[in-house]
Chain A
Amino acid sequence: MTPTTATREPVDAPAKDGTPRQILTAIGPQNLSLLGALVVVVAIFSWLNSGYFTWSNMQVIGEAATVAGLLAVVQTVVIICGAMDISVGSQTGIASVISAMAFMSTGHNPLLGMAAAVGVGIVAGILNGLIIVYGRVNPVIATLAGLAAYKGVAQLISGGRAQGFVLGDNLFIFISRGTIAGVPVQVWILLLVALGVHVMLKYTDIGRNIYAIGGNDTAARLAGININKYLVAVYALAGIVAALAGIVLTARTGSGQPTSGSEGLELQSITAAALGGCALKGGKGGVGGTLLAVLLLGALNNGLNVVGVNTFWQNVAQGALLVIAVVIQQRRSGERAVGLPT
């Protein structure tokens, strides 16, 4: 058992100069273990298959991880806020369908198609937020409902089939196949979104307040933070990023996909956030860890494909990783191991 209330614990002040130790603490033990795991995964698969550790396969891994990565980044924000968004995958599906259908019906205007997708994402996100804040519905339940309902809407408007064809358009082709400085455009989108979210979380008062809400909502409220506004805004952000993911999905597959390609994304995004060090009770975590976890999961999935493991096993691996990540987290938190886990 670990003591939680040692009052006079002498703690070393962190080193001030640029010692290796300071760099290590800046990276954090959680991220270090992720890096270690990544090295191990890459080493194993490179050994099993010489085609694994090549630039072109790295590009494949990056592209494959983009959609889930975008959702994981925004899931990180939602989880830090002390909530969760299970409907992100369904929102991605709606956005994908809408982007393709709006593209077709506006005479092949890609920008209008994308704008329509983002608009729908915002609406879906705000709806989630409003249901949670004003309906007083537990976030998991509210977005579980969203998971089903948004998927249904996507299927209704698409008739359950892939819609449109966008790969005659230069912008969609650019997103789908373009590279900048050797790095796929999709990966750039993920990196830009991640950077933006990171800056918001770490350097603005908005981010500080999000951490505060997740850390102690009562304290945040009494400090004068408008929690309801923040929650709705965070879910709206989730909707926007899910829409971006939907657009990327449309570009990758060439048409609007109501369900294929977006199912299971909620699991992947939550797994990545948890692996990346987000405390599921809120108030803790960051984009850096989540990105590393996305990379790890991508490398693992790709490796299992390359080696020819049955894809059904990948689902098992995914679920197992989520449990392992949370178990490690609980062990580290040093909470008393009694009662129902929170």
Chain B
Amino acid sequence: MPERSEGIDRHSTELRAVGISKRFAGVRALNDVTLDFPSGTVTALMGENGAGKSTLIKILNGDYLPDDGEIVLDGRPVRLHSPADARQAGIRVIPQEPEIVPHVSVAENVYLGALPRKAGRALDRAALRRRVREDLLRLGFERVLSPDTLGSRLTSAQRQLVEILRALTTDAKVIAFDEPTSSLSEHEVEALFTLIRRLREEGLAVIYVSHRMQEIFQLADRVAVLRDGALAGVRDAAATDENEIVRMMVGRDLSAMFAREHSATDQVILEVDAVTTDDVHDISLTVNAGEVVALAGLVGAGRSELAGALVGDLPIRSGQVRVEGRRVRLRQPRDAVRAGMGYAPEERKAQALLLERSVRDNISLVVLDRLRRFRFVRRAEERRLSREYVDRLNVRTPGIEHEVRKLSGGNQQKVVLARWLARAPKVLILDEPTRGIDVGAKAEIYHLIDDLARSGVAVLVISSELPEVLGLGDRIIVMQNGRVTGELDRADASEEAILELAMAEDLTTSLSEGQE
């Protein structure tokens, strides 16, 4: 039907996945999934990790060919052998961290591979800038992104914007976002949503993958839920609620996620006294034994940088850190480890795990100095310890010799936690401990944090998810722009109160950052 020669008749566009199945090495990733993505509609795709969302997105992007079933675009089946095929067909997946060439301008980044040329091969800079300016104007983003900014100066949101521009300049009809907001601050998210709504108005089919329930209800028209590789159901966003979606995803309710068996003592364990680093200023806070303190704030508020300083990875310019009243001189992470501090960083794959080594190697990494006798590792003891913590944390792995790379995100995070638990730290700093992991594993980690606090550990949790901050923290400390802007008791805390302390005045500041 929708024959077209020039100009895109977007309103007749529709993407259908029909009976898609995909197996990997005998494991069923997708099983007979049939799903429509109509134009002018935002369809949210939800499901736990391992439910098949990523596989489906990768099939749409041409990364994988389905074993069975077909992708139908505008009523015509298409075979997508590569991302280039997908683009040709008009399907574009926007990755979380788009690839941006750092040393060239936004304009060149947008038209990368299709730069306008004058006679010969000379770059037509004028035409390039004009085109990008027109694109930005059309989308209403001329104030947030300048065609001349260098790639290396872009914020995460701006990078995604560049990728979206790339998509639009190649006449995309379907745009899929794979957890686009995981590295964005709240107002960048707002800006992105505005853009996505505009894409919807322009008649594109938008696919939106996210773990964040709030976003789904703000943005999506329809919600499709995958579970164990099969379609668990599709709902109109207006006719469903969070609890129903979670039930569809896991088959149980949200309320039981948080546990609260611990009670904070008044014995101060971690004292941070007027600490200033290159990124944060004059930070003072305490965490008591058996207490969970949540550190809230927008992305870029300096929370991870503070954590990095507290564990000796970033230099402290002035101020003191004390553990159990003793001053800790933090020249390198080793000093923090020795003082009894444990740290699960934000990027577990890049910063915490030895992906190609076993669960055992990963757990024993920080306790080798206790496991050795004359520098020889006591291997039986090491195995016993690893098994003990694998059991205690319920790490789902075929065995302690299994490579960590092959575990799911939630189980990888449990391995990181197991490592520090094995060392029995006095202070545990967890940076986004549940980022990108599924609901079931999240609940387990919440229980574990509660357990740790009950056993007397002082826990400092950094989280960007407000329900998590509210559910976990005995106290909530809010940071903004490198400073502590407030502290809330559990009783006084609410999402609104936290956001008020966390937000900068001007909604566009963050997006325009890095423009100079």
Contacts and interface: CB of A to CB of B under 8 A. Distances in A.
Nearest to B411: A7
Interface residues of B, number: 49
Interface range on chain A (Cβ under 8 Å from partner) = 35 or more
A6 B333 contact: no
Contact of B345 (A5, A211, A222): A222
Contacts of A208: 361, 364-365, 368, 377
A205 B368 contact: yes
Interface in B338-356: 338, 343, 345, 350-356
A18 interface: no
A37 interface: no
A9 B353 contact: no
A284 B401 contact: no
Given A1-B64, A6-B24, A13-B398, A219 B376 contact: no
Contacts of B377: 203-205, 208
Contacts of B372: 204-205
B105 interface: no
A26 interface: no
Contact of A222 (B311, B371, B406): B311
B369 A218 contact: no
Contacts of A283: 354, 356-357
B375 A206 contact: yes
A179 interface: no
Given A211-B361, A216-B353, A222-B313, A204 B337 contact: no
B49 interface: yes
Given A205-B372, A221-B332, A222-B351, A9 B24 contact: yes
A30 to B, nearest CB: 14
Nearest to B402: A11
Contacts, number: 113
A283 B358 CA distance: 12
Contacts of A14: 399, 401
B334 A6 contact: no
A3 interface: yes
Contacts of B338: 224
Interface string B237-257: 000000000000000000000
A26 to B, nearest CB: 12
Contacts of B164: none
Interface stretch (B25-33, B454-462, B475-483): B25-33
A8 interface: yes
Nearest to B334: A224
A11 B345 CA distance: 29
A48 to B, nearest CB: 41
Given A9-B406, A208-B377, A219 B334 contact: no
A21 B361 CA distance: 23
Q: Which of A209, A224, A284: most chain B CB closer than 10 A? A: A224
Given A221-B313, A222-B352, A223-B333, A7 B49 contact: yes
A231 interface: no
Interface string A214-232: 0110111111111000000
B334 A7 contact: no
B50 A7 contact: yes
Interface string A288-322: 00000000000000000000000000000000000
A341 interface: no
A222 B333 contact: yes
A211 B355 CA distance: 12
A168 interface: no
A77 interface: no
Contacts of B355: 215-216
B352 A284 contact: no
Contact of B356 (A3, A203, A205, A215): A215
Interface string B389-402: 00000000011011
Given A203-B377, A204-B377, A5 B54 contact: yes
B333 A221 contact: yes
Nearest to B398: A11
Nearest to B347: A218
A212 B26 contact: no
Given A7-B50, A219-B353, A204 B406 contact: no
Contacts of A205: 368-369, 371-372, 375, 377
Contact of B351 (A4, A11, A219, A284): A219
A222 to B, nearest CB: 5
B179 to A, nearest CB: 14
B355 to A, nearest CB: 7
A204 to B, nearest CB: 5
Contacts of A11: 398, 402, 406
Contacts of A220: 365
B63 interface: yes
Contacts of B263: none
Interface string B306-338: 000001010000000000000000001110111
Contacts of B448: none
Contacts of B313: 221-222
Contacts of B357: 211-212, 215, 283
Contacts of B361: 208, 211-212
Interface in A4-32: 4-14
Contacts of B406: 6-7, 9, 11
Contacts of A13: 398-399
A124 B108 CA distance: 47
A215 B332 contact: no
B408 interface: yes
B365 A212 contact: yes
Contacts of B375: 204-206
Given A6-B27, A7-B27, A7-B408, 16 more contacts: A1-B64, A4-B405, A6-B25, A7-B49, A8-B408, A13-B398, A13-B399, A205-B371, A208-B377, A211-B354, A212-B365, A215-B354, A218-B351, A223-B337, A224-B337, A226-B332
Interface of B: 24-27, 29, 49-50, 54, 63-64, 311, 313, 332-334, 336-338, 343, 345, 350-357, 361, 364-366, 368-369, 371-372, 375-377, 379, 398-399, 401-402, 405-408, 419
19 contacts: A9-B25, A12-B398, A204-B377, A205-B372, A208-B365, A208-B377, A211-B354, A211-B361, A216-B353, A218-B352, A219-B351, A219-B354, A222-B343, A223-B365, A223-B366, A226-B334, A283-B354, A283-B356, A284-B356
What are the 3 tightest A-B residue pairs by CB atom distance, in nearest-first order?
A224-B337, A3-B24, A215-B354
